[in-house]
Amino acid sequence: MNAITDLHPFLDGKPKRLFIGGKWLEAASGKTFETHNPATGEVLAQVAEGDAEDIDRAVAAARAAFTGPWSKFKPAQRQAVLLKLADLVEAHIDELATLDTLDMGAPISRTRNNRQRAVGMLRFYAGMATALHGETIDNSLPGEIVSFTLKEPVGVVGAIIPWNGPLTATIWKIGPALATGCTVVLKPAEEAPLTPLRLAELCVEAGVPPGVVNVVPGFGETAGAALAAHPDVDKVAFTGSHFTGQSIVRASAGNLKRVSLELGGKSPDIVFADADLTQAVPGAGMAVFANSGQICSAGTRLFVEKKIYDEFVGRVADFSKTLRVGDGRDPETQVGPLVSQEQLSRVTGYLSIGRQEGARPLSGGERLTEGALAKGYFVPPTVFADVRDDMRIAQEEIFGPVISAIPFTDIEEVIARGNNTTFGLGSGVWTRDVGKAHKLARAIKAGSVWINCYQAMDPAVPFGGYKMSGYGRESGIQHLDEYLNVKSVWIKTD
């Protein structure tokens, strides 16, 4: 045993392979890549590096399963598989949470907390598996002619996920596929491929037939691009940056495959002077500091009503200084490292840009390098005051624990400024005035509006973007429609 194999039962020192057609295979090229612990820089495992040839093999396996055994599964049988998988995820949640923490850095308190969400999603999709149905529609044609619709699985789904929540991101893609009868080729993010691979093992245990779920780790420009362009993939479900989302849409043109996109954001979080500030201070703080700001719907543009601006922003900065930054494996840790050296460079780059643009850091502002933190990619929670709308830190997605705090004076002004972004994923409003709350709920151009809370999520409630934050919805019954075709059937009966 060496130190790495002591960390986790899944880390056995052997290279991790691709999961294709129910088998564990090496990449056709024989290549592997390393995956690291971002808290320490240690290599956790070598992982087979899939590319276009492996994507071909996986798509062929997914197609064979789709037209073969999986198509014979009745809804209740797919439901049973999903329920078994939910039980397995629940039974193994500590192990899965630890793997997420090791591979992408999030605090164990957060990844363990995913239990309800991960298991709840699988049980929600299980429920939906037997609730899908078409409609009988009265038509107005002369004579006797009946019309009704069938809902049919779209087919082979290419799922491309990011690294910021591997367990839940994987379930968010394979759950609706299993419920609707689709098959999946999942490409995990190169930064955090381990949990999706472990989940593939649990899929086998749950009775998912070979080829229904395939997992092909590899890089975006090779494996990801091959999946997005593949002529035998019927739909791509993508979560990641808007730049990649645009290239996925371009790649989809070859066979006009369906695409759903959950992309980035620069979400406004609006605090009125009448809000309950004792709730709003930690609420606005954690709207950005949770997962070290690596959440696409983080409320990074903090608009604060001018009369409380200095007090409120000061209190958020004080709150940020109380948060414990460290290795995610420590149960006391509240803010873990950023996922990679690349992400560290990006976030610290924005810290410099913010200062150069004239924003004033009230907390954080520099990479942490004391003691053991020097080996990892740690940036403390940072609050920039005196931010103007035209600064880059107020416009561009940083994907780090950085709040850009901006003053405003009235409601119409903050609606216009809040919406003045190319993105539209999340948004927050803190107020005790129900009239203001309703007005903002309608006026904000974003897929989610959280009032007196932030980042509430539930498997039954749809989530997704407006504008450059993408299209399509995940969670809710709308999610299942993304994986279904509607067929109209006409039968002349006279």
Residues that bind ligand ADP (CB under 6 A): 160-162, 187, 189-190, 219-221, 224-225, 228, 240-241, 244, 247-248
- Nearest approach in angstroms of CB 129 to ligand ADP is 27
- Nearest approach in angstroms of CB 229 to ligand ADP is 8
Distance of CA 57 to the CA centre of its chain: 26
End-to-end CA distance of the chain: 77
Q: Which residue's CB is nearer to ligand ADP, number 219 or number 471?
A: 219
Residue 31: Cβ within 10 Å count: 15
Locate 394 and state its tokens: 């107020």
- Nearest approach in angstroms of CB 26 to ligand ADP is 20
- Nearest approach in angstroms of CB 431 to ligand ADP is 32
- Indicate if 296 belongs to the active site: yes
- Nearest approach in angstroms of CB 347 to ligand ADP is 12
Q: Which residue's CB is nearer to ligand ADP, number 96 or number 236?
A: 236
Q: Which residue's CB is nearer to ligand ADP, number 185 or number 449?
A: 185
Task: State which residue has the least CB distance to ligand ADP.
Answer: 220
Nearest to 7 by CA among 111, 100, 110, 98: 98
Q: Which residue's CB is nearer to ligand ADP, number 220 or number 364?
A: 220
- CB burial readout 43-64, b (16+ within 10 A) else e: ebbbbbbbbbebbbbbbbbbbb
> What is the Cα Rg of the chain in Å?
23
Q: Which residue's CB is nearer to ligand ADP, number 115 or number 392?
A: 392
The H or E element spanning position 187 is strand 183-187
Is 289 in a helix, a strand, or coil? helix
Reduced to 3 DSSP states, what percent helix, strand and coil does the chain have, rounded to the nearest 5? 45, 20, 35
Angle between helices 108-129 and 93-104 (to 10 degrees): 120
- Indicate if 182 belongs to the active site: no
Catalytic residue among 190, 203, 296, 357: 296
Q: How many helices (H) and strands (E) would you count in the chain?
A: 17, 21
Q: For the purposes of burial, counting CB atoms within 10 Å of the CB of 42, is it exposed (0-12), middle (13-18) or buried (19 or more)?
A: middle
Q: Tokens 């997914």 appear where?
A: 62
Q: Which residue's CB is nearer to ligand ADP, number 160 or number 275?
A: 160
Longest CA–CA separation in the chain, Å: 84
- Nearest approach in angstroms of CB 399 to ligand ADP is 7
Q: CA separation (Å) from 90 to 76, 86, 99, 119, 459?
A: 21, 6, 14, 6, 16
Residue 488: Cβ within 10 Å count: 12
- Nearest approach in angstroms of CB 85 to ligand ADP is 22
Distance of CA 221 to the CA centre of its chain: 19
Is 437 in a helix, a strand, or coil? helix
E-assigned strands of 188-278?
Answer: 213-215, 235-239, 258-262, 268-271
Distance of CA 1 to the CA centre of its chain: 34
Q: Which residue's CB is nearer to ligand ADP, number 65 or number 339?
A: 339
Q: Which residue's CB is nearer to ligand ADP, number 233 or number 286?
A: 233
- Contacting residues for 14 by C-beta, under 8 A, at least 6 apart: none
Catalytic residue among 49, 190, 262, 305: 262
Is 304 in a helix, a strand, or coil? strand
Q: Which residue's CB is nearer to ligand ADP, number 192 or number 313?
A: 192
- Nearest approach in angstroms of CB 49 to ligand ADP is 11
User: Counting every residue, how long is the chain?
Assistant: 494
- Nearest approach in angstroms of CB 345 to ligand ADP is 13
Q: How far apart are CA 38 and CA 100, in angstroms?
A: 11
- Contacting residues for 490 by C-beta, under 8 A, at least 6 apart: 145, 146, 147
Catalytic sites, residue numbers? 262, 296
